[in-house]
Amino acid sequence: MPDEKSELADEIFEQYARGRLDLAAPSLWPYEIANALSRAVARGRITGSEGDSWLQTLLNMDIEWIGFDQLAPRVWELALTRAVTVYDASYIALAEARECELYTCDAQLARAAEDLVAVHLLRGQ
């Protein structure tokens, strides 16, 4: 959102744009993004056309979508042992499986994952 600038997020997008970063996310990610954008429009934080434009930009990015079937056993275990939602557990499980860094705006998710994977909090919550 315009009022939530993050230098780290800007750096991530710059690295991606230069072809220096591969991105992967659980297949639920586009739904979460669309939901966040629709809520921002409803609250008057952005216009409907801005939300649509941002959603289209994100959907056109080269992101590898990982289905629940590829992560299910570990997602379930993490949800139960880390007291996080299955949705949040999917991000941790993916970072573990890929042995990659986890970038999030969710401080609770970051805390739940911090001893399992390298976590970068894009902004505090």
Residue 1 has pLDDT above 70, yes or no: no
Residue ranges of domains in the chain, CATH in brackets:
7-121 (3.40.50.1010)
So what's the pLDDT on residue 46?
A: 93
The larger pLDDT score, comparing residue 91 to residue 124, is at 91
What tens digit of pLDDT does each residue of 88-116 get?
999 999 999 999 999 998 999 999 999 99
pTM above 0.95, yes or no: no
Q: How many residues are listed for the chain in this entry?
A: 125
Give the torsion sign (CA, 51, 56, 59, 62).
negative
pLDDT digits (tens, 9 = 90+) for 20-63: 888 999 999 999 999 999 999 999 999 999 999 999 988 898 99
pLDDT at 74 over 80: yes
Query: Would you tell me how many other CB atoms lie within 10 Å of the CB of residue 113?
Result: 24
Q: Quick check: 86 and 75 in contact, CB under 8 A?
A: yes
As a three-state string, the secondary structure of the chain is CCCCCCHHHHHHHHHHHCCCCCEEEECCHHHHHHHHHHHHHHCCCCCHHHHHHHHHHHHCCCEEEECHHHCHHHHHHHHHHCCCCHHHHHHHHHHHHHCCCEEECCHHHHHHHCCCCCEEECCCC
